[in-house]
Amino acid sequence: AQSVSQHNHHVILSEAASLELGCNYSYGGTVNLFWYVQYPGQHLQLLLKYFSGDPLVKGIKGFEAEFIKSKFSFNLRKPSVQWSDTAEYFCAVEAGNMLTFGGGTRLMVKP
Amino acid sequence: NAGVTQTPKFRVLKTGQSMTLLCAQDMNHEYMYWYRQDPGMGLRLIHYSVGEGTTAKGEVPDGYNVSRLKKQNFLLGLESAAPSQTSVYFCASRLNGELFFGEGSRLTVL
């Protein structure tokens, strides 16, 4: 079974700082990759997804992620965070019909 | 178009009681999922369904049962609730790889 690891459980940044959240997975076959975001008190929403093609994927709200197959990684980045980016971020890997989530990274952006 | 709707949103149970969580989606999606969310553990898949009349086990299926008698509904049952099942439960349906989540059901087992 696949597993997904998110290295940072909590990240605190000031506005305008750059963001990179790590995500690694263990699965040898073909996967689809996702980042979801959960704003306080809300349900999860899709930020971006990768199925194939260009390994640099752009999502909503200025987020992007890069798939590095050799490293089994799918890190999320944003050049300049805003206070409204305060949320919990989840990496997810799909293999077959199962979508497995990482443990999440709670991001707090200080104004 | 309501998307994915979960009922109830909150419930408190005593150990040993049973209950059913209902998930309804109006998007005609084939795939539906039940996850539980616990602090620091992300979302863990309990059971899922790839179509009406089908169900399959996920990562943490023990203590739960599911049914998908109608395409739009996916029920999650707890036969004998335990404190370890205190959690927030999310239902989701899927289309083209994207999950559409309900707002969650917070269950507390005393």
Question: Which parts of chain B sit beneath pLDDT 50?
Answer: none
% of chain A surpassing 70 pLDDT: 99
The residue type found at A63 is: F
Averaged confidence pLDDT in chain A:
93
Cβ-nearest to A49 among B35, B41, B98: B98
CB contact under 8 A, A43 and B103: yes
State residue A7's pLDDT score. Answer: 86
CB contact under 8 A, B50 and A43: no
Instruction: Flag whether pLDDT at A1 surpasses 70.
Output: no
Chain A segment 51-80 residues within 8 A of B by beta carbon are 51
CA-derived radius of gyration, chain B = 13
Q: Kindly state the tokens that stand for A44.
A: 């999860």
Query: A10 touching B, CB under 8 A?
Result: no
- Identify the bridge partners of residue A48 per DSSP, sorted by sequence position: A35
Residue A59 exposure: Cα atoms within 13 Å on the Cβ side: 21
Total beta-carbon pairs less than 8 A apart between chain A and chain B:
52
pLDDT digits (tens, 9 = 90+) for A63-77: 999 999 999 999 999
State residue B1's pLDDT score. Answer: 57
CB contact under 8 A, B90 and A32: no
Instruction: For residue B99, give the chain A residue with the closest CA.
Output: A46
pLDDT digits (tens, 9 = 90+) for A24-76: 999 878 889 999 999 988 888 999 999 999 999 999 999 999 999 999 999 99
